[in-house]
Structure 1
């Protein structure tokens, strides 16, 4: 490293050869001082770079609020985040400070109990859970029961539930309070419709100034819908709330995992069955039950766990291999209601509010699923 600095310092004296001889002699001392100062600046800059990198790594994964509609894939996502928190790197300050419940995969009452079941499996009764909205601002609640009538495979849960719902606050109010209490050090991940979040942003107009980042699973950015043509399920549930959220955020404040990216996976249902049945893990046993109905209902040979992938993007940013930053504007009326307009050519001049995840590392995703759910690498 010293050789590099010396070489760089010598290069600064190259201009001296073109100066008159008498000036060269007079400037000798000055030039030596310049060389010394140059080397010192380089060394200090190098040290500052190391400090910056350390600080960046140490603050990754701050306080987290999970907003969920608690279907089978939500359970995978929540358990992954809980396990990451339990075995987080020493440099990480990742902490789940609250879970808010919303309608979506099933009605709100089922979502509440499903969240409590998941926390019970993880032996976590310390995380506050708040109940939120029953339906969209305009849209009425509807579900195709893809994950079962209760959203969790309609199976018997034999354990005594240890977690509870905090009824002292409505979920949107709880979001506002948690964000303001952790201003500048909190991010929110949404796994269902955006109604709770939109209401929180409406209650506190400048709330986004206190939030680091939003991780959102939803939306169809290339016309491949799973609810209606061009419309994804979560965004179809409440287009007004979609619009509120995406028009309240700052430049690149949202990381969006759209439906097209979620289904672009080489994980098959066969892989999921074979791998997850080989491990003696309470998490795997639980997930095999709560996903039993969805695995039967899906005609897709691939295993699509969109919420789990969104959670994986949060806890391991390297999972995202390709993304593009563009303005995303939800559509609130007409036949395209619930879809989004992506300003790919940047004709509108609007800020790039969203990082759209385009490609993920499927091999890494598989490793993360096994790492956090199998109990092989990390103890249960």
Structure 2
């Protein structure tokens, strides 16, 4: 059977901040990260979780993060409330958000599986200020994983020009590499919510190329609904709150298969050997287009002459991702 000790994470020591708009998608990624955080054999430490608008309002995001932490018994990770509005233009949420109004489809507990709720409070410091402070404190050591819109990061960059130099590496789940969208025909959701922040982030002079997991890559990493329901969905553990069957209806209706895009990004960070194809390129974000605002512009023909600033993850090994998910959600993982 699968168990956490079999995950074989990267041996590279990491201090990590996860910036999230915690809906169900993010929850799966958080469980992957928390399994590594709790594994004594894995040199992976989550030093903070920062919350941002996206799948739902930021107050719901904070509550969802606490729910995930309660489900795993992790109590030593500070949580920071971040931006609830984009940098420039307001984000108007549709009437039927993909993961429900609260981001968790109204699911915050599971029958017959005890979840120990702890007295948790948000840190007084705002998420952007925490990002700036922690990047300075762990200069050259910090990895930031952005699973939602880039608003907190954009603010942090504007607060401290040295922020990007203090961060070791940045991973982003968002954007697109070939003009495939989900909230608009050619725009991915996270970049659509706050295009200006995404533009600021991609334009900054990071120490290393940004690692981006775009929407197209996630669509290549979709598991069958049969596997999702009959294999992963049969696991009963406290962290399986994000596997609640009712939340599958939208995936089945829209795609006929299942994927946690944010989990793909987290798996790439945790286990780089899962990557089967990647490339580097110069990328920016379109801000003006009537139909393309928020789309990632990739210099495929190399016309700009600008240096490559992004490593695009193009394909991962689906079987290995599924193995990691099974190991993470196994009841033994969070004992």
User: 1:114-153 to 2 correspondence within 5 Å?
Assistant: 114-143=64-93, 144-153=96-105
Structure 2 stretches of 5 or more lacking a match? 1-9
**Per-residue CA distance 1:39-60 (angstroms, 9 max, x = gap):** xxxxxxxxxxxxxxxxxx75x1
Aligned to 2:212: 256
Q: Is the 8 A contact 2:167 2:207 kept in 1?
A: no
In structure 1, what is the equivalent of residue 49 of structure 2? 99
Higher strand share: 2
Whole-angstrom distance in 2 between the partners of 1:108 and 1:129: 12
* Unaligned residue ranges in structure 1 (runs of 5+): 1-56
Higher normalized helix content (fraction of residues): 1
Write out the 4+ residue segments of structure 1 that deviate beyond 2 Å after TM superposition.
141-144, 155-161, 163-167, 249-253, 276-280
Superposition pairs of residues 89-238 of structure 1, within 5 angstroms: 89=41, 92-143=42-93, 144-157=96-109, 159=115, 161-162=117-118, 164-238=120-194
User: Would you say the 8 A contact 1:251–1:353 is kept in 2?
Assistant: no
State how far apart, in whole Å, the 2-side matches of 1:86 and 1:79 are.
10
1:144-185 Cα deviation digits (max 9, x unpaired): 421112111212537453262434211100100111110010
**Deviation of 1:343 (Å):** 1.2
3-state DSSP of counterpart to 1:70: coil
CA separation in 2, counterparts of 1:311 and 1:138? Answer: 28
2:249 aligned partner: 296
Q: Distance in 2 between matches of 1:366 and 1:117?
A: 23
Q: Which residue of 2 aligns with 1:265?
A: 221
Q: Give the superposition deviation at 1:206.
A: 1.6
1:305 to 260, 268, 271: 260
Q: 1:280 to 1:344 in 2, by over 3 A?
A: same
Identify the range of structure 1 (126-135 vs 296-305) with the bigger mean alpha-carbon deviation.
Answer: 296-305
For the pair 1:318 / 2:273, whether they are aligned, the reply is: yes
Residue-pair matches, total: 317
On the 8 A contact 1:103/1:141 being kept in 2, the answer is no
Shift of 1:330: 0.8
Q: Is the 8 A contact 1:251 1:354 kept in 2?
A: no
**Could you say if the C-alpha distance between residues 162 and 220 of structure 1 is closer, same or farther in structure 2, counting changes exceeding 3 Å?**
same
- 1:53 maps to none
Superposed CA offset, 1:338-360 (max 9, x none): 00111123221212110000010
Aligned 1:17-32 pairs, distance under 5 A = none
Larger gyration radius, structure 1 or structure 2: 1
**RMSD between superposed Cα atoms in Å:** 1.8
> CA 1:348/1:252 → structure 2, altered by over 3 Å: closer, same or farther?
farther
Classify 1:141/1:368 alpha carbon distance in 2 versus 1 (closer, same or farther; 3 Å). same
Distance 1:266-1:170 versus aligned 2 partners, 3 A rule: closer
Shift of 1:237: 0.5
Using the size of structure 2 for normalisation, the TM-score is 0.90
**Alignment check: 8 A CA contact 1:130 1:165 kept:** no
1:63–1:95 contact (8 Å) kept in structure 2:
yes
Using the TM superposition, give the Cα deviation of residue 219 of structure 1 relative to its aligned residue in structure 2, in angstroms.
0.5
CA–CA distance in structure 2, aligned partners of residues 249 and 166 of structure 1: 31
Q: Give secondary structure in 2 for the equivalent of 1:355.
A: strand
Correspondence for 1:63 = 15
Counterpart secondary structure, 1:188: strand
TM-score scaled to structure 1, two decimals? Answer: 0.80
Alpha-carbon spacing, 1:251–1:330, altered in 2? closer, same or farther (3 Å): farther
Distance in 1, matches of 2:236 and 2:203, equals 46
Map of 1:333 onto structure 2: 288
Secondary structure of the structure 1 residue equivalent to 2:258: coil
Q: 1:343 to 1:88 in 2, by over 3 A?
A: farther
Per-residue deviation, residues 64-109 of structure 1 (Å, max 9, x unmatched) = 00000000011100011000121253xx531000000001001111
